[in-house]
């Protein structure tokens, strides 16, 4: 005897070329797990104690993309007392919901001198009245339903009277010396 049953499809893992889907038959406690789905309509006959169930499954394409970053500076040099601004673009699908900043592995907290903004993919970190202690490795961390990612930006804050040393100056010193 064949009975028509509804199935729920829970997408568990989404990869660009592979989707893992867990099927659960409503009103039964029978589970089916499969990795070999191509998008479209399917008809499954699941034999569960001499009862065959006809199941029609419709899958939708859901684009998924890990968070990524654009306009990330390789490094930043700034004189103390000035405002450090790091402005990058955060992408991903779905749009990242959790975006935060770290310095030397520790979460940066908002304060009067530290401003963090994130709107429509544009992410900014502002630190007013910088001091040499603001030098370090800054990281922007972004997370969406598909996963997480981070980008790193080394920042060097120099004394007001000290010029930052560029790579060109170091090479000239090595060649002349």
Q: Compare 162 and 137 and report the one with higher pLDDT.
A: 137
**pLDDT tens digits, 29-42:** 444 444 455 444 44
Check pLDDT > 80 for residue 153.
yes
Query: Span 118-133, mean pLDDT?
Result: 95
pLDDT at 122: 94
Check pLDDT > 90 for residue 116.
yes
**pLDDT tens digits, 160-175:** 765 555 555 545 545 5
**pLDDT tens digits, 44-103:** 444 555 554 444 555 555 667 899 999 999 999 999 999 999 999 999 988 998 999 999
List, in order, residues 6 or more apart from 169 with CB less than 8 Å away. none
pLDDT at 11: 40
pLDDT at 146: 86
Check pLDDT > 50 for residue 27.
no
pLDDT band, residue 155 (cuts 50/70/90): very high
- All structural domains of the chain: 2-58 (no CATH), 65-162 (2.60.40.10)
Q: Which two tokens stand for residue 70?
A: 């654009």
**pLDDT tens digits, 89-112:** 999 988 998 999 999 999 999 999
């Amino acid at each position: 005897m064949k009975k028509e049953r509804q199935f729920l499809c829970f997408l568990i893992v989404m990869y660009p070329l592979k989707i893992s889907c867990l099927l659960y038959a409503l009103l039964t406690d029978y589970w089916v797990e499969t990795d070999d789905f191509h998008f479209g309509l399917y008809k499954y006959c699941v034999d569960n104690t001499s009862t065959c169930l006809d199941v029609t499954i419709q899958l939708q394409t859901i684009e998924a993309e890990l968070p990524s970053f654009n306009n990330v500076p390789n490094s930043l040099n700034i004189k103390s007392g000035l405002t450090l601004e790091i402005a990058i673009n955060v992408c991903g699908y779905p749009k990242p919901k959790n975006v935060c900043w770290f310095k030397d592995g520790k979460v940066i907290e908002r304060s009067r001198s530290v401003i963090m903004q994130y709107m429509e993919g544009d992410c900014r970190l502002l630190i007013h009245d910088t001091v040499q202690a603001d030098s370090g490795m800054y990281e922007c961390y972004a997370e969406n339903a598909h996963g997480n990612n981070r980008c790193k930006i080394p920042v060097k804050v120099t004394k007001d009277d000290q010029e930052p040393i560029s790579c060109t100056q170091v090479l000239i010193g090595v060649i002349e010396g």
